[in-house]
Structure 1
Amino acid sequence: MANTMLQLKTNELLIDINPQNLAINITELSNKNIWTMREATDLDVLMQDNHGKEEWRSFTSFQSRETWISPDKTSVLINIPEACLALSVKIKNSNTVSFEVSPLNESDEFHPRDVLWPRHFIMPKNSDSYVAWPLNQGELMYGNKTTRFHHPEGYSEQAMSWFGAYKNGSGFVAIAHTPDDLYLAMWHDNNTAASAFIHWLPCHGHQRYSRKVTYQFGSKMDYKAMAKSYRKHIQESGQFVTLKEKYERNKNLEKLIGGCVLQCRAAMRNFREFTFDHIPFETTAKWLKTFKSQTGITNASVHLDGWGLHGYDNMHPDISPPNRTCGGSAGLKELSKTVHDLDYLFGLHDQYIDNYAHSPSHDPKDFKIKENGYPDKINNWAGGLCVHNCYTASLKYVKRNLFQGPKELYFRHNPPPIVSEYKTNAYYLDCFSRTVECFHPDHPLTRTQNREIQKEILRTVRTGNNGEGEPIALQIEHARDFILPEIDFAYGLGSVVEDVEVTDGSDVTETIGVSVPLWHLVFHDCCILPHTDNDTILNFLYGNPPWFRIGEWGDDFTTVNEKELTVKKRIMSLHKEVAFLEMTNHELLNHEGSIQRSDFEGISITADFKRKLVTITGGSSEINGEISCDF
């Protein structure tokens, strides 16, 4: 049967499969919309021999096929023995198709590593079609986009494990059911419109287990319906924890509902530029008192950067004792007391991924080792060269620093546990939620194990050392779907940008596609994602609390901009009303996305980015009306 076209059919879908080149046509019978999957390419599967030599192969380069079709014509199995893989296509119900890749009798001589299947559907090059891509907040990649990616697959880890596409009035959503070793790739060459597809990553060099993704088709499957399908999937998986449930387990979150984040600086010793900046803890305490007296704001979480010995991005994981120039331990304790007296949450910035070469605990036994046997020496921040910890070491140092206190010779004394000493009821852990492997012989980790240990770390912190202490309002940098049950707030995810090639070494980027709140359509009522700096309009549109910077190095803080305060208080009032609500709808009111509207169970926010104007309806008299964000 290898050279015979195969056909599957339900009352809604007709599927034609070429088992040799794996070209697939899926026809929606209700509207005759045809989805054509790209046939095999030269980059289908990365094979590796027992000497470590790698070669990309096309599925068509493997000559033998073993093909079966079920008697009811609802499933096809294609075994490719030379590739040591079995591919299957199954109709799950009338409008849902499952694609599975399974390892098959791996040879002693070679085995598959990466598998890029199912391939992308070929999209029309017009402005009415798009791909929904859940990178960062979420992007729509329209068919008439001309900008090309530098990398043929895009270049970042997805925030959620799904994608979708829309054309001719209908679309599909593809949901990965085995998301740990997954990369949502983007095909975008010079001749075709952008289109997403599945890249199954190896698990410690092998495929090892079956991988599965389902595609649900529908005539009304636009990007909003795609997001709601994924929301339902997460709810059914038992991993959907709402913000209201998180509030019930930690009433400190009350300070974030209708509140704001106050970012404060302490110190930074920049070893690259030979500079040192600092703001004494007592100065920050004075500024925070000024802020509350001027604004009357009662709900806030203080986020203090650079409080450790050498300041921001320095000497991790040995962050204690507090910076002496800023006031040392006594000064930080007094700042903590001030924040608690103001009835704000007190949170510290901390980092357990980067391991700095000048830290006393810097030890190769803790390093995350890549498959090539080398550590990740990719970062050179203010504190100089650092490598990445394995997450097994991250767990060890989180417990040691926050809840136990070091018990070895350590800066000539043993600092006490951070949480109990400085009364932190909020905490920020930088750089968490990246899914990586470790090949260190003493502590290897698969991506699945990596995710589990990250959840253990975050659960340990947010529960105050697994219930031994008070719960902590926990913030991380990168929100991801798998980590969401364990966190309370994170940085706003922002838009997807790509690097612009320049010759002067500057950092120049441009926006990719049109940003839409795919994340919030799924998870708005599960997590708080304040956008920093001047993303005021997005905080309105996405129903997030605002962010204030309380002073900068070299600048004094004397007063809050009156216009800024008026606008951000309005955002806070909006957040108080929508924090626990689902984002039920979103609309692009023009094609370029400069005017958008979001809806939260009856409360509607319209944002005009060019005019910097926001209009709210359906809420209380405190939030309804027009607001200018031009300040």
Structure 2
Amino acid sequence: MHQIVGADLRICAEADGSIKINRGNVVWVSRKDHVSGVELTDGSFVPLSAAKTRLETLTCGTGEGLRWTWEGIPMPEGQEPLCLAGELRIENESGNLLFTLLPIRDGILKAVHWPAELQLSEESSEGCTVLPMMQGVLLPDHWPGEVKGIEPPCFLERHGYMPWVGRYCEKGGWMAIAETPWDAGYGLEHPAGGPTRLDWVWQESMGYLSYGRRLRMILFSKCDYVTMCKEYRSYIREKGSGRTLREKVERSPKILDLFGASVIHTEIRYEAKKEAACYDWENPEKNSRLTTFEERRKQLKALHDRGLEKAYVHLDGWGKAGYDREHPDILPPCEEAGGAEGLRKLSGECRALGYRFALHDQYRDYYTDADTYDQSQAVMLPDGSRPGECTWTGGKQSYLCAGLASSYVRRNYRRLEKMGICPDGAYLDVFSVMRLDECFDPMHPMTRRECSEYRNECFHYIEEHYGIVSSEEPLSNTVDSLALCHHAPYPTSPTLARGYARGIPVPLFNLVYHDCILTPWNLAEGEESVMPDGKSGFLYALLNGGMGYLPIEPSDEEWEKAGIVARLHSLVADQEMVLHEFMDGTGERQKTVFANGITVEVDFMKGSYRFG
């Protein structure tokens, strides 16, 4: 056993990787049922306990530390035994624990599971796990439903908008932040009734663990999910991230016009191919629809005449073959709907009405019937194959390597400008929701980290030339680039978009990023709300201080609700959400508070609200 001391901590470590942390009268220990180990490319798992372990103490200018070296980790027959090393340091000034998995150039590893989850030595049975799954969720130890993570575990997609997890109970808590998030993730297992088990996982990148993987763990003597969100907010601001809307407005003044605006999400052409999985065989008439640019122009003019002063218009299916068809070769604009002239007039009408106008676009789904489709530009797997699917309206597709995407973005928008079409922004679909891609094509290899950088390069081009950038959902690696997203809902079952709540919904993401990105909400009720347990989307929009979707031909009720949401949004759009709390034991009455003092209270049971 080795011992190190720093800040107000004393850590005792064993050769098997387990640790015991004393902080005042509180004792933290590695979870006994956690098995640290390595996952191999053949699917097998080798525990680190199977290796010969060397444990030594370290000292540097910021605090003491420990290094584990696991030698002779047994490999499959014919392979040399593996050596792996990991470090733990106490950062004296902050009291944080810094874990580092040292790099290794060995292509047989798929992932490393380390370090173990911490728990209090006498932990209350009323503990709760905090998960940044979509907007956010609390998972009490005895939650009655089953909740699982994804395979392979990863952050920077729906199961982890932000790269951290946490846990707290009445005696204290902790949160763990992946400082190198691109190849990190959390394994999650919660059978019905509990308990919850978390597993920290570091994935290989391009077949190797070729760089150091870093985890920052923060211990709290008293905390809740709000504490953790504010700690993470401070962390990203110190790192130079968390770019606020006010900071974005300095570069893109058009964003100001979205404060208090309603979102009008409409389309021009939808034409599903029969081979597509989304083709509706039971209702074939739903697979084809067309509305002209001129009809949309008149509808928007009617909304303005009715009194809608501020709107953000998001246009789907404007390309030559319609929605999700033939990307990235979408030009010219749909001829059947009025062509380039019709789109130009629609864009001009929005400008005359004072509305902001953006185009739906796509540079990941790479359709095989696109005019310039070239298989050599698609993502390649390690075995040389090119993955793909046939899910969406356009049918058969592969995935365009993100390293090549920005060239297509520049090409298409320069051609639009030559047609006299200059939108206020663009929505680059799925870039901010799909997990990061790797590409093994030797002509354009790409790591997950590079994929993130390439996607942001596309966002930056739109911001620089048009002003308003959006994508599907808000991930921490894209928030600095986006003005708004399509939505940021709470996770549900049986799917992540509809059903019963996975745990207790809480606005973790908005507690960190509310003043950094605009988030629209579906204002419907019941099953149409796509909110957990069919709860009111209207009340969730108010609680979160978000934008509201408004149909292009709204009913009186839809018009009224959108107006209420817009009025609140005009007050809090650029304000930090400083607090969220449950006002009673039922969870039906909730409150949020914003930095300018605006307080919102909603009661989901009564369907009531108030703000001011």
Q: Does the pair score TM above 0.5?
A: yes
Other structure's SS at 1:291 match:
helix
Match of 2:338 among 293, 309, 327: 327
Other structure's SS at 1:302 match:
strand
In 1, Cα distance between the equivalents of 2:169 and 2:541?
30
In 2, Cα distance between the equivalents of 1:303 and 1:354?
19
Distance 1:530 1:151, change over 3 A: closer
Give the CA deviation at 1:520.
1.0
Other structure's SS at 1:484 match:
coil
In structure 2, the residue matched to 1:15 is 11
Give the CA deviation at 1:87.
1.2
Give the CA deviation at 1:150.
5.3
1:510-554, CA deviations, whole angstroms, 9 ceiling, x for partnerless residues? 32111111111111111101113522212211111111121xxxx
In structure 2, the residue matched to 1:6 is 2
In structure 2, the residue matched to 1:47 is 40
In structure 2, the residue matched to 1:140 is 138
1:361 aligns with 2:350: no
Give the CA deviation at 1:160.
0.9
In 1, Cα distance between the equivalents of 2:586 and 2:69?
45
Give the CA deviation at 1:444.
0.7
Match of 1:118 among 115, 118, 125: 115
Structure 1: 5+ residue runs without aligned partners? 406-416, 465-470, 502-506, 551-556, 618-631
Letter in structure 1 aligned against 2:113: L
- Contact 2:147–2:502 at 8 Å: present in 1 too? no
Other structure's SS at 1:445 match:
coil
In structure 2, the residue matched to 1:468 is none
In 1, Cα distance between the equivalents of 2:11 and 2:564?
52
In structure 2, the residue matched to 1:629 is none
- Contact 1:126–1:143 at 8 Å: present in 2 too? no
Give the CA deviation at 1:345.
0.8
The equivalences for 1:135-174 within 5 A come to 135-149=133-147, 156-174=158-176
Letter in structure 2 aligned against 1:268: Y
1:25 aligns with 2:20: yes
In 1, Cα distance between the equivalents of 2:606 and 2:198?
33
Give the CA deviation at 1:567.
2.7
Give the CA deviation at 1:499.
2.8
1:66 aligns with 2:77: no
In structure 1, the residue matched to 2:65 is 75
In structure 1, the residue matched to 2:593 is 599
Structure 2: 5+ residue runs without aligned partners? 73-81, 525-536
In 1, Cα distance between the equivalents of 2:13 and 2:240?
35
Give the CA deviation at 1:98.
1.4
In structure 1, the residue matched to 2:270 is 268
In 2, Cα distance between the equivalents of 1:84 and 1:290?
70
Other structure's SS at 2:335 match:
coil
In structure 1, the residue matched to 2:224 is 222
Other structure's SS at 1:238 match:
coil
Distance 1:402 1:325, change over 3 A: same
Match of 2:296 among 248, 259, 284: 284
Distance 1:35 1:565, change over 3 A: farther
Letter in structure 2 aligned against 1:57: V
Give the CA deviation at 1:190.
7.0
Letter in structure 1 aligned against 2:392: W
1:251-307, CA deviations, whole angstroms, 9 ceiling, x for partnerless residues? 21122011111111211111124632111111111111111111x122111111111
Letter in structure 2 aligned against 1:221: C
1:463-492, CA deviations, whole angstroms, 9 ceiling, x for partnerless residues? 01xxxxxx3211111211111221111122
1:413-466, CA deviations, whole angstroms, 9 ceiling, x for partnerless residues? xxxx258632201211110134221111211101111111111111011101xx
In structure 2, the residue matched to 1:495 is 490
Other structure's SS at 1:456 match:
helix
1:229-272, CA deviations, whole angstroms, 9 ceiling, x for partnerless residues? 11111111112211011112122112201111111121111112
- Contact 1:262–1:301 at 8 Å: present in 2 too? yes
- Contact 1:39–1:119 at 8 Å: present in 2 too? no
Give the CA deviation at 1:401.
0.7
In 2, Cα distance between the equivalents of 1:77 and 1:24?
12
CA-based RMSD of the aligned residues comes to: 2.5
Distance 1:265 1:361, change over 3 A: same
In 1, Cα distance between the equivalents of 2:207 and 2:305?
59
- Contact 2:229–2:508 at 8 Å: present in 1 too? yes
Distance 1:152 1:567, change over 3 A: closer
Q: Determine what percentage of the aligned residue pairs are the same residue.
A: 27
In 2, Cα distance between the equivalents of 1:132 and 1:117?
19
In structure 2, the residue matched to 1:187 is 189
Distance 1:56 1:205, change over 3 A: same
In structure 2, the residue matched to 1:623 is none
The equivalences for 1:363-402 within 5 A come to 363-402=374-413
Letter in structure 2 aligned against 1:613: S
Give the CA deviation at 1:66.
1.7
1:166-225, CA deviations, whole angstroms, 9 ceiling, x for partnerless residues? 012311121111112112332335795224342111111111111111111112221111
In 2, Cα distance between the equivalents of 1:596 and 1:331?
46
Give the CA deviation at 1:127.
7.0
- Contact 1:23–1:39 at 8 Å: present in 2 too? no
Other structure's SS at 2:450 match:
helix
In structure 2, the residue matched to 1:451 is 452
Other structure's SS at 1:261 match:
strand
Give the CA deviation at 1:162.
1.3
Letter in structure 1 aligned against 2:304: K
The equivalences for 1:300-319 within 5 A come to 300-319=311-330
Letter in structure 2 aligned against 1:598: T
In structure 2, the residue matched to 1:412 is none
In structure 2, the residue matched to 1:578 is 572
In 1, Cα distance between the equivalents of 2:572 and 2:451?
34
1:50-72, CA deviations, whole angstroms, 9 ceiling, x for partnerless residues? xxx4532111122x112102479
Give the CA deviation at 1:588.
2.0
1:475 aligns with 2:446: no
In 2, Cα distance between the equivalents of 1:418 and 1:595?
50
Give the CA deviation at 1:125.
9.5
Give the CA deviation at 1:497.
2.3
In structure 1, the residue matched to 2:77 is none
- Contact 1:524–1:583 at 8 Å: present in 2 too? yes
Letter in structure 2 aligned against 1:522: V
- Contact 1:301–1:426 at 8 Å: present in 2 too? no
Other structure's SS at 1:615 match:
strand
In 2, Cα distance between the equivalents of 1:150 and 1:173?
19
